[in-house]
A and B are shown apart, each in its own frame.
Chain A
Amino acid sequence: MLAEYSSLIALIALTAILAYSFYAVLIAGQLSLAQVGLASLAAFTSALVVPAEPLFGFIPPLVIGIVFGMFVGAIAAFILGLPVIRLRGVFLAIATLAFGEMVRIFLINQSWTNGAQGLSFSKLVGPWIAWIALAVVAYWFWRLSGSRLGRAFAAIREDELAATTMGIDVPRYRMASFVIAGAVAGLYGVLLAHFSRFADPNEFSFTAAVDGLVTAVVGGVTLFIGPILGSAFLSVLPEVQRVIGIDAGWIRPTISGVLLLVVILFLPGGLSGLIPLRKSAKRLIVDPSLQPTLPSLPAAGSELVSLSGLGKSYGGVHAVQSVDLTVNAGEVLGLIGPNGAGKTTLVNMVTALTPPSTGSGTVLGVPLSATTKAHRLAQAGVARTFQQIKLFNRLSALENVLVGGYRVTKDTLLRRLLFLPSARRAEREAMAMASAQLIRVGLGDKAANAAGDLSYGDQRRLEIARALASHPSLLVLDEPAAGMNHVEAESLSELIRSLAADGIAVLVIEHNVRMMLATCDRIMVLNFGEIIAFGKPSEIARDPRVLEAYLGSAGSDEDADAASVLASENLAQVSADRDDAQLGLHIDPDPDGVTNPEENR
């Protein structure tokens, strides 16, 4: 009975291994169609090295073939990756597809592959070996999924830019996923050749690549078991149809096509989406004994950021002109100004997302230049949030914060593979740190929710928690109070003050001027890319140029709100001055200050 199906059973395993090769790139958000070409390279070159007899009398020929094939697959993927890794989406898919076809045509035209006639291999692989190989590969991906490396891949898939600002070296990790996929593809190629005993380069065609991709996607990439499910489903389907007596010819492919369509349209997560997820990153771990000791922050008052003459222009437009600024540990520095004043451009330069056009600067010892990579700054201790929220939407809130902890955790994959207790402890420590940050921003009860499902205000808080998880020396917040009511804004203000008290330097952009006046130690006001005022909140509130900037901006409701707050501050100031005047200190009331902005509009 089983013997009848032994070849099907082996093929399920082999197809699953090919699907894992696609899975390895898909989990990092990349679509590569080179896998089959890499497999082909590995298979045919292995024919050159696999000996007929065990090497040194005890190393089986297949082991040599596998090791060699995986090595060839990985190296070829690396070489292919060098030029193509910067391509995205469809472009990457097409470039890798072209590579696959080029490999096929090259091999067809070589004499050592015997061209289109094909090459014979010795039969070294049966169902047992195929399934053992599959088990090893699946085990590897299972242990990967909960490790720091696995989380980094997921972060890159969800949002590359946010991943970069967590300190993840995105190109390197994308390359890593490429190379892993290449090694798995190499394994597949060698196993397949030694299973079917015969291979010609035309078998490793575009169609085969599409089949592998379809298997991976049908299985789903949300769970490590996906490729096996996909392979079982797609391999068994024709067999089932044969057994229940459906004619070969056109009916079987039609039914397969319809089922594929149904799966893809109605099961967004693939087949593995049907399995209820037992997410490990759901529960908080609140255990003070697990809090690791983190490196201490720079001493309060030490200079973390120093900018001199920093500017950015786009074409002829000066977004930011010649800013001189120092930010010290433990202070809250506010950055305000009407819409379009250049605030975000300035913090983008400070976090190395935008290269400066002029001037120079140093952030946490890293000089800012055109080549400074954002992930390097992040690793030096800069964390940030974004004006347009950039969360890893499909990951849970807790997982988001775990990714944030990338900088202060070590990779656990190798130790996880061996089930070392230290890996488990490291994971629990990371979880405890993340839990603490989540609780700190008041999201303790929403740890298991997908980030994309949270309310706007909660998403803002989650972004802050994620930034804090990296234990930053400098925290950059870009409009953290947007969308919060004033009670929420007040607790945010308290949070910011407490962070500064811990010794973190906080650079915050915000339109809520009332909150800024209450929160910041110093405030810088930008308008049209230039600093128009810089000083203590009380000085800024009184400065007529600031009010003027907000009134003059044709802008938004936010600007009008800011103007009215400033106006009322000025009013308060004026009445205080009047009180002073009655005491005999004569100061001219500022006539602009009493103007109600609403009447001016």
Chain B
Amino acid sequence: MQLFLDGIFLGSIYALFAIGFTLVFGILDRLNLAHAAVFTAGALVGIEIVTRFGVPIWLLIPIVLVVGAVLGILIERIAFRPLAGRHDAHFAGLISSIAFGAILLSLLQALYGADTRRFPADAFPSTRVEIFGATVSLLQVIILIISVSLMVVLTWLVAKSKLGRGMRTIAENPHAAAVLGLNVGRISSTTFALSSALGAVAGVLFTLNVNAASLGIGHAVELKALAVIVVGGMGSLPGALVGGLILGVAEVLAVNYIGSSWRDMVAFGLLFLILILRPQGLFGARKTREV
């Protein structure tokens, strides 16, 4: 039970990161590899804010959401929009977002140095509670609540709101969406903003969970997130949630029963198998673009 709960906590963070990742892919058909840098930025900026101003967690999360959203808009404007209409926009978008991520990371290094950073001790309550015979910290429960509610809000937004309808129209056919009078540029920006806001919060929550952040944390999570969105189905929001939880639990179990050195094999083995056996993922409806 303890293992299972630990897996759920870890998995919910993976899912939160992955859901932003998959949102951009599902709607704009682009893989944004700067997402990992946004994750790192969220973590480091979060630590900075808490260290300097001692803000409580309920204030920290909205601030980081805003920081992430601003980064998302920048990513869209700088790394993706100039490529619109180019035949190689797919490849070029991968590379330009890698470049953006690299710039962001080096700026973070300039601001906060290259060392591992932590939240100040006693910044958050360290109450522990017992559930079903397993011990969990209050912080973990808060993390779970925040990430799940953010994901629920996002899914609702995409499914029901006017903005979400616009997004889904663009996903179906960007040209038709533009003809229908939708502001494709603005909706794309908003999509990136939402995506990055969640990515940044995931960074903070991840750091809260392990209480350590360095420049490199984004990369490891990025690879996991790729596994998550493929397992759940590229572009599927519920898929990212379920995929994240599956991966979290599977990893914790693997560490316990096989050994930590093989932990990452689980993610990639799962990813590889799904791609071979069911490329559309567990929840995916793969868009086929044929003749």
> For B33, what are the chain A residues with a Cβ–Cβ distance below 8 Å?
210
Q: Which residue of A lies closest to B264 (CB)?
A: A105
* Selected contact of A102 from candidates B79, B87, B261, B265, CB within 8 Å: B265
For B78, the closest partner residue in chain A by CB is: A261
Residues of B within 8 A of A95 (CB): 271-272, 275-276
Known contacts A91-B279, A214-B95, A254-B107; A265 and B82 CB within 8 A of each other: yes
Of residues 248 through 268 on chain A, the ones whose CB sits less than 8 Å from some CB of chain B are: 249-254, 256-258, 260-261, 264-265, 268
Whole-angstrom CA separation of A257 from B102 in the bound complex: 6
Name the CB-closest residue of A to B223.
A206
C-alpha gap A84/B276 in the complex (Å): 7
Contacts of A26 in B (CB 8 A): 91
CA distance in complex: A526, B182 (Å): 40
Prevailing SS type, chain A contact patch: helix
Chain A residues whose C-beta falls within 8 Å of the C-beta of B110 in the assembled complex: 249-251, 254
A101 touching B268 by the CB < 8 A rule? yes
Residue A135 at the B interface, CB < 8 A?
A: no
Whether A214 pairs with B31 at a CB distance below 8 angstroms is: no
* Contact flag A265-B96 (CB < 8 Å), given A84-B275, A97-B226: yes
Q: At the interface, yes or no: A10 with Cβ under 8 Å from chain B? A: no
Contacts of A218 in B (CB 8 A): 95
Please determine whether B262 and A105 come into contact, CB atoms closer than 8 angstroms.
yes
Q: Is the CB–CB distance between B96 and A261 below 8 Å?
A: yes
Task: List chain A residues, Cβ under 8 A from B92.
Answer: 217, 264-265, 268
* Any B CB within 8 A of the CB of A532: no
Residues in A whose Cβ lies below 8 Å from that of B223: 97, 101, 206
Nearest B residue to A266 via CB reads: B82
Report the minimum CB–CB distance from A419 to chain B (whole Å). Answer: 33
Q: Find residues 187-211 in chain A having any chain B CB closer than 8 Å to their own CB.
A: 206-207, 210
Is the beta-carbon distance between A268 and B88 smaller than 8 angstroms? yes
Question: Known: A89-B90, A94-B275, A265-B82. Contact between A260 and B264, CB under 8 A?
Answer: no
Q: Contacts A105-B264, A257-B100, A265-B83: A250 and B106 contacting too (C-beta < 8 A)? A: yes
A94 touching B271, Cβ below 8 Å: yes
0/1 string, A443-483, CB within 8 A of B gives 1: 00000000000000000000000000000000000000000
Q: Are B275 and A98 in contact (CB under 8 A)?
A: yes
Name A250's contact: one of B83, B86, B109, B276 (CB within 8 Å). B109
B228 nearest CB across to chain A (Å) = 11
CB-CB contacts of B226-255 with A at 8 A, as 1s and 0s? 110010001000000000000000000000
Complex Cα–Cα for A549 and B290 (A): 30
Please tell me if B134 contacts chain A, counting CB pairs below 8 Å.
Answer: no
A476 to chain B, nearest CB (A): 15
Q: Which residue of B lies closest to A108 (CB)?
A: B261
**In this assembly, does A87 line the interface, its C-beta being within 8 Å of a C-beta of chain B?**
yes
Given contacts A94-B275, A102-B272, A268-B86, contact A217 B91 (CB under 8 A): yes
Residue A109 lies at the interface, judged by CB distance under 8 Å to chain B: yes
Cβ of A64 < 8 Å from any Cβ of B? no
CB contact list, B188-233 vs A, under 8 A: 219, 223, 226-227, 230
Within A207-252, the residues touching B (CB, 8 Å) are 207, 210, 213-214, 217-218, 249-252
- Within 126-178 of A, Cβ neighbours of B (below 8 Å) are at 161
Which residue in chain B gives the minimum CB-CB distance to A268? B86
Q: Do residues B100 and A261 form an inter-chain contact, with CB atoms below 8 A?
A: yes
Cβ of A90 < 8 Å from any Cβ of B? yes
Interface status of B38 (Cβ within 8 A of chain A):
no
What are 25 residue pairs bridging A and B, where the CB atoms are less than 8 Å apart in the complex?
Answer: A26-B91, A91-B234, A91-B279, A95-B272, A98-B227, A98-B272, A101-B223, A105-B262, A106-B265, A109-B262, A210-B33, A217-B91, A217-B95, A249-B110, A250-B106, A252-B106, A256-B102, A258-B99, A260-B98, A261-B78, A261-B99, A264-B96, A265-B82, A265-B96, A353-B291
Q: A213-B94, A253-B102, A265-B82 are in contact. List 17 more A-B contacts (CB 8 A).
A: A31-B91, A89-B90, A90-B31, A97-B223, A98-B269, A102-B268, A105-B265, A108-B261, A207-B219, A213-B95, A251-B110, A257-B102, A260-B95, A260-B99, A261-B78, A261-B99, A264-B99
Residues of B within 8 A of A (CB): 25, 31, 33, 78-79, 82-83, 86-88, 90-92, 94-96, 98-100, 102-103, 105-107, 109-110, 114, 219, 223, 226-227, 230, 234, 261-262, 264-265, 268-269, 271-272, 275-276, 279, 291
